[in-house]
Structure 1
Amino acid sequence: KYAVDFDHFSPDLLNFDRFLLAAIVLTPFLQSSGSTWAGSRSQRRSKEKRGFDSGALFAGGELGLWMFAGYSLQSLGLLTTTAGKSAFLLYLNVKLVPIPSATLYRRKIPLSTWGSAALALLGTSLLCFDGGSAPTSGDILSIGAAFCSAMFILRLSTAAKEYNTAELSVYSLWTTVILCGSWVAIGEQPTSLQALIPSAADVPAILYLGLITTALTTILQTFGQRYVKAEKAALIYALDPVYAAVFSYVFLSEKLGEAGMAGAFLLTFAALVSQVDTL
């Protein structure tokens, strides 16, 4: 949000720069990764020479598609909504994960999930109409980003158990880089490579977004979800909007109104209710 508002980054160029940096940093892990990063399928393969794993490439490519869609919708949404509201709307991914999980893997949806769905819908409505104004396009885009995030979490929970963590992370990041680059080429139509290079004033934001919130979080999430099921992982991510609300208040002087606070509470409570039968 800070980069888009104050550093005047376009969402497409911002995502291209951050994911390119993260992909470059993590690519060496392809050669140095060992059994610590290996999934069950990788562990069954020869430790001396695993070679190229096409399955990991396709799995990482799919994850990259969901990653690109989620981050792009989030970045576009931040142009017309606040960071705090966006974070709580993105928190819908906690609520959405069990639904595609039941659809794709035919798991029975407990009654608590349907009850929490009603709470989440009410909470989302309160957030979108916070301050008495109609929902912005940014609110709608943030909800779309939440769905993409839910699909990423769900698909990652399966892929991380089968394939090498470093390979999945690198393949997903490079897929995102290619998609972001295509977006920049179509939307920005840069006339030279110089137009893609951030200015000196923009470097701190790119370094933070690329190294900390992209490279580090991608490798930690991919590694962690080898041991934590998707439903529980989504609940752990519940702290995201709490941190975002605090940071957006401290650094951007943003705060939710009464309706927004009530909506945020209902979304949080809905997520907790939906996970009762899955933990």
Structure 2
Amino acid sequence: MKRKQVQAEILLLLAALFWGVAFVPQKIAMADIEPLAFNAWRFILGGLILVPIVYWLSSRRDAQPGEGKGRQVTHVWRACLPGGALLGFWLFLGSALQQVSLLYTTAGRAGFITGFYLLLVPVIGLSLGYKTNRWTWVGIGLALFGLYWLADFSEESQLVGDLMVFASAFVFAIQVLTADRLVKRYDALRLACIQFLICGLLSAVASVFTEEATLQSAIDAAWPITYMMIFSTALAFTFQLLAQRYAAPSHATVIMSLEAVFALAAGWLFLNEMLNTTELIGCGLMLAGMLVSHYGNHSGTHH
């Protein structure tokens, strides 16, 4: 079990790395393609890639009849459709806000502020009857203080971008809580596959009505779309799902918090995004808030 736990935590680390680095291609793509069109391509293609992975993992589970006993989970596509569609709507809303924000703010800042959803999950969960404790509030206080340090009130457009990312974090927290309830009854990978496809279709429809997207723009943004559909969508999610069975919850939340650090490092390394001392202090406080909150809640407030 110890070896499996280490393997699981390596998979989680890779998922956090893929998601953190993803803010770079997301930012780069905005020079060539409209935000909603970009989301349409990445999620539709990512969802389609996930289809054979679903069947591959299903065949592995069937070959190991001892796995998954005690959990009555539906593996029928049609039964998973309503829940997947609901998740797809939340993913569409959160991803649209996040992607548009990158027109105004940096990849590193967006990555760090998106990480705030880890703190919002237990807070929003209170309204659904989930329990939390004082560590959550200490963590949120630290993170909000860090967010204040990170915010640059002199840069109006950047502030608009930061606020859009913050709004997306709320939506992602709602999506996580919705998914948490649904995966108890429906196959997680099928839900994911449906949510990606629904999100992509909603993005495509919204793009048709609000943007002037062309096939050439998608060709120009081919490598960011490819990165997102393979690494950020299909692989990262599959790694996370495979790891959840064996990773210790307290370790898993800390590892997922590193997504923000990876985003900051990738922004500096690939886009030459530099943070001043005040902004670095803000990022440090936000990361500390995430870790403090989850240290106090490692037994799980919503799992």
Whether the TM-score (by the shorter chain) exceeds 0.5 is yes
Letter in 1 for 2:96: S
Query: How far apart, in 1, do the equivalents of 2:199 and 2:219 lie?
Result: 24
2:203 paired with 1:180: yes
**Structure-2 change in CA distance of 1:70 and 1:177 (3 Å):** same
Alignment of 1:109-128 (within 5 A): 109-128=132-151
2:72 paired with 1:41: yes
**Structure-2 change in CA distance of 1:154 and 1:221 (3 Å):** farther
SS at match of 1:245: helix
Partner residue in 1 for 2:16: none
The alpha-carbon deviation at position 207 of structure 1 amounts to 1.1
2:271 paired with 1:252: yes
Partner residue in 1 for 2:171: 148
Letter in 1 for 2:61: T
Letter in 2 for 1:236: I
Letter in 2 for 1:269: A
Query: How far apart, in 1, do the equivalents of 2:91 and 2:277 lie?
Result: 32
Alignment of 1:1-279 (within 5 A): 1-2=24-25, 4-5=27-28, 7-29=31-53, 31-32=55-56, 33-34=58-59, 36=61, 40-42=71-73, 51-54=76-79, 56-104=80-128, 106-129=129-152, 133-134=155-156, 136-188=159-211, 195-196=214-215, 198=217, 200-225=219-244, 234-279=253-298
Task: Return the TM-score normalized by structure 2.
Answer: 0.77
Query: How far apart, in 2, do the equivalents of 1:227 and 1:53 lie?
Result: 29
CA RMSD of aligned residues (A): 2.7
SS at match of 1:237: helix
Query: How far apart, in 1, do the equivalents of 2:222 and 2:295 lie?
Result: 43
Higher RCO, Cα 8 Å, sep 6+: 2
Aligned length: 266
> Which structure 1 residue ranges, 5 or more long, are not aligned?
none
- For the 8 Å contact 2:92–2:203, the answer to whether it is kept is yes
Query: How far apart, in 1, do the equivalents of 2:219 and 2:202 lie?
Result: 25
Query: Identical aligned pairs, as a percentage?
Result: 27
Query: How far apart, in 1, do the equivalents of 2:218 and 2:89 lie?
Result: 28
Q: Could you list the per-position Cα deviations for residues 158-181 of structure 1 after superposition, in whole angstroms to 9, with x for gaps in the alignment? A: 323332233112111111012111
**Structure-2 change in CA distance of 1:199 and 1:62 (3 Å):** closer
SS at match of 1:9: coil
> Which structure 2 residue ranges, 5 or more long, are not aligned?
1-23, 299-303
SS at match of 1:120: helix
**Structure-2 change in CA distance of 1:3 and 1:264 (3 Å):** closer
Query: How far apart, in 1, do the equivalents of 2:32 and 2:263 lie?
Result: 20
- For the 8 Å contact 2:27–2:106, the answer to whether it is kept is no
Partner residue in 1 for 2:15: none
Task: Return the TM-score normalized by structure 1.
Answer: 0.83
Q: Bigger CA drift: 233-242 or 14-23?
A: 233-242
